[in-house]
Structure formats: structure tokens, C-alpha cells
Structure 1
């Protein structure tokens, strides 16, 4: 009986872990797909580069939330988790990490720019 209970508990945790991992997915869009998506409607668009990188050039209407900020997670508190969020960085590395964090925060639709801002223009 104890073995059966243990088995059921392990299966339960396993299923929950799979569901959490499924939610952790983000979609990487090509530059053309990304441009089309952010131009269709007003979207939540976030540049996760440093303020210095942002100042050198960014996508119009992008909000700058530096990935390296101590309060990176809390900076998204006022954003709508039920609406798509589009993120980018310089090359796609930081935004990929940011996508995982946003998923953990409860964002459901996360879109990342393939190759980052360097690939956008």
C-alpha cells in the first residue's frame, strides 16, 4: 500500500513538472515575422538590453527593462500577463533567458526576436 501511494505521488509530481515545462515555452520569430507581429496592433514590447545599448538604437515604442537590473522581475508587475509580450536583446541570449523568467512569472504568450536587435535592421 505504501508503495502504491508513493508511486501515485511521484506520478502526480511528474505530471505537474511537465505542465510547468510546457508553459515555459516561448516562440522565436524571424525578423520579418517579428516586424509584422509588432506592427499589427499595440503590443507589449520590451528591450532587455542595457540603457546604453538602448540609447544607441531600439525599436520604436519598446520599453527598456535591463535584464541585469536587480529588480528585473518586479519591473513586469504592471504588465498584462494575459496579453502577448514581445522581447528582444542584442543577439537573442538575454531575451531567451528573460523569456524563461517571464514564463515563471505567469506570462502565457512570449515572443522573442531571432538573432536579437542585431538581426532586426
Structure 2
């Protein structure tokens, strides 16, 4: 989904904003209220399975490739309402939306 739609939905308070980048990328800047689960880590599936399956999951990365992969993994693990930020944090930034550092 595009950045404006992602922003509106993720700010509704009905879901979890999930950053699937590395901790180094996360500390350089992340979306407000984001939690991290690095898709490259072996415990990624364990981490996502600790999230409530009845919540919406708003997943993003740098440009949208890892988050698309993560969204598919989330769906395979029983999450039904998963939303991927197309263009990732780069597109979010282009729209001048807030990034926390």
C-alpha cells in the first residue's frame, strides 16, 4: 500500500508497525511506534509469532522488498491482516512523514 494509506491506517492504533530491517538500520531512523524483527535473523519467525495474530500488522523496510517477503511469511504463520509499505521508509521519507532517530 502507498505511504499516505499506510500512515493513516498505522496511526489508527489498531495494529503493530513492524520494521524488518537490521538493528543498525533501525537506529538510523524508524517509523513512530515501530517494533523491530530483523528478517535476516534466525529467530525472525519466533519473534513474529510472539505478536498477537488478531492485530493488523503494518510491515516496512528500506524500499519494500524485505517487507514484501516478511508479509508473505507473516501470512504463512497465521496473520490475516498484513499490510506492506510499498517503497519502504524511502517513500515514507519522500512524503516528509516523521522518522524517529
Q: TM-score range by the shorter chain?
A: 0.7 to 0.9
Aligned-residue Cα RMSD (Å) equals 0.9
Cα separation, 1, equivalents of 2:53 and 2:13: 17
Cα separation, 1, equivalents of 2:22 and 2:82: 20
Alignment deviations for residues 70-104 of structure 1 (CA, whole Å, 9 cap, x no partner) = 11101012211122111000000000100111111
Decide whether the 8 Å contact of 2:59 with 2:67 is kept in 1.
yes
TM-score by length of 1: 0.74
Decide whether the 8 Å contact of 2:14 with 2:56 is kept in 1.
no
1:107 to 75, 79, 83: 79
| Structure 1 gap segments, 5+ residues each | 1-28
Higher relative contact order (CA 8 A, sep 6+): 2
| Structure 2 gap segments, 5+ residues each | 94-101
1:55 matched to 2:27? The reply is: yes
Paired positions, count: 93
